[in-house]
């Protein structure tokens, strides 16, 4: 598949996901501010992907005209971290990646290295975050593939795929690994209003990889389950609390309730960087509000009468009790309890 986050020595090239599936266009970011705007405006989205993008955004700070030594670098990195962390609130990977980059900057700045060495160190750290994420996705795929039954029909929501990560995907990483093992009969992709990531992105990347995919409207998923067409639901995550409560794209919680009603396993797939062990439960997860216009106007047509109120919830929280298992690169957490989360993650984050 296309490389959608690409580091080009001193700039960042992002596939503009808003234009998919009909347009393949790239945006070049040369500053942390431009990178933060790209994240805010959803040029790039998906919790791991915005973490990686933000890491490169911090690296771009090192290429500023004022970076002559370690002290100047730290000032630029601090400013970059601030603007990037504010770009979107719910996915914890963003803050995680920015903090890791800032720690690296502090470490290398201490040594009195030249500006070139500093730049190189930050680029390498961002590239490491990117490569580690791809490796984590592949491990998630390996760890999760046996949870997809032979001939499995998988329902997914939003896009937790290659486009949402460094590559390969989390939920779609499990799908890809299961497909490679010959276990996937069909992937049902909720279109996922209001941004239609399922219709536009999941369908696009799966069809590129010749994995069978069928798109449906979000309000059709319950019927599909009732007809016995869904063997397992697999979704990604934007932030997971220490007890396993999971914030993800709006609509995820409803699917979890429906899966429980129909006796269908409900899986979350996410790397360790998506866990926020500082939050005991999902109640503390900040949920982003976005503009009403993003619901009220579709493809340039206003579908809600002017003056009518519109609710735009961007994420929801699924309680751990509705999640059959969380698949991470370090292993499978099941049943989903605080104890098992800590055990599998090894408190290592």
Residue found by looking up tokens 């093992």 in the block: 181
CB of 144: closest distance to its own copies in angstroms?
Answer: 24
Which of 254, 243, 240, 272 lies closest to 155 in space, CA to CA?
Answer: 254
Other CB atoms within 10 A of residue 313 CB:
12
- Distance of alpha carbon 92 from alpha carbon 315, whole angstroms: 13
| Known catalytic residue at 218 | no
Burial 69-106 (b: 16+ CB within 10 A, else e): ebebbbebbeebbebbbebbbbbbbbbbbbebbbebbe
Radius of gyration of the chain (CA): 20
What distance in Å separates the CA atoms of residue 223 and residue 239, rounded to the nearest whole number? Answer: 29
State the residues that interact with its own copies by CB under 8 A: 21-22, 157, 188, 190-194, 196, 199-200, 203-204, 207, 212-224, 226, 250-251, 253-254, 257-258, 260-261, 295-296, 298-305, 307-313, 316
Cβ proximity to its own copies: between 42 and 216 the closer is: 216
Q: From the candidates 133, 238, 276, 316, which is the catalytic residue?
A: 238
Of 112 and 300, nearer to its own copies (C-beta) is 300
- Pick between residue 240 and residue 296 the one whose CB is nearest to its own copies: 296
Shortest Å, Cβ 187 to its own copies: 10
Task: Indicate the DSSP class of residue 191.
Answer: -
Output 173 or 194, the one with its CB closest to its own copies: 194
CB of 239 to its own copies, least distance (A): 16
**CB-nearer residue toward its own copies: 75 or 216:** 216
The residue written with tokens 């599909």 in the block is 224
Shortest CB 137 distance to its own copies, Å: 22
Q: Give the torsion through C-alpha atoms of 214, 217, 221, 223, to 10 deg.
A: -100
Annotate 22-38 with DSSP letters as a single string: T---EEEE-SHHHHHHH
Nearer to its own copies, 29 or 237 (CB): 237
- Smallest gap from residue 174 Cβ to its own copies (A): 20
- Beta carbons of 140 and 273 less than 8 angstroms apart: no
Query: Which DSSP helix (H) or strand (E) runs through 71?
Result: helix 70-85
Q: Which residues belong to the active site?
A: 238
């Amino acid at each position: 598949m296309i490389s959608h986050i690409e580091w080009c020595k001193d700039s960042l090239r992002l596939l503009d996901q808003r234009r998919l599936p009909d347009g393949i266009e790239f945006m070049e970011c040369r500053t942390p501010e431009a990178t933060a705007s790209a994240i805010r405006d959803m040029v790039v989205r998906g919790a791991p992907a915005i973490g990686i993008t933000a890491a490169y955004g911090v690296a771009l700070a090192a290429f500023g005209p004022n970076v002559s030594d370690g002290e100047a670098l730290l000032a630029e990195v601090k400013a970059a971290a601030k603007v990037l962390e504010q770009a979107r609130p719910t996915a914890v990977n963003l803050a995680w990646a920015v903090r890791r980059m800032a720690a690296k900057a502090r470490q290398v700045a201490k040594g009195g290295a030249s500006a070139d060495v500093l730049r190189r160190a930050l680029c390498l750290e961002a590239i490491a975050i990117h490569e580690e994420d791809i490796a984590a996705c592949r491990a998630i795929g390996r760890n999760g593939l046996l949870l997809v039954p032979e001939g499995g029909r998988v329902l997914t929501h939003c896009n937790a795929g290659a486009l949402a990560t460094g590559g390969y995907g989390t939920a779609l990483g499990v799908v890809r690994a299961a497909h490679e093992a010959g276990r996937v009969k069909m992937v049902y992709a909720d279109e996922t209003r209001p941004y239609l990531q399922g219709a536009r992105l999941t369908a696009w990347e799966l069809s590129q990889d010749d994995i069978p995919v069928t798109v449906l409207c979000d309000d059709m998923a319950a019927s599909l389950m009732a007809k016995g067409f869904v063997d397992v639901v697999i979704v990604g995550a934007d932030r997971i609390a220490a007890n396993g409560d999971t914030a993800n794209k709006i609509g995820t919680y409803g699917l979890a309730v429906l899966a429980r009603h129909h006796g269908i396993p409900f899986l979350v797939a996410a790397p360790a960087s998506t866990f926020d062990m500082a939050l005991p439960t999902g109640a503390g997860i900040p949920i982003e509000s976005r503009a009403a216009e993003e619901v009220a106007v579709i493809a340039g047509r206003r579908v809600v009468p002017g003056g009518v109120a519109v609710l735009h919830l961007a994420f929801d929280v699924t309680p751990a009790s509705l999640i059959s298992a969380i698949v991470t690169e370090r292993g499978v957490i099941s049943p989903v309890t605080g104890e098992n989360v800590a055990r599998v993650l090894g408190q290592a984050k």
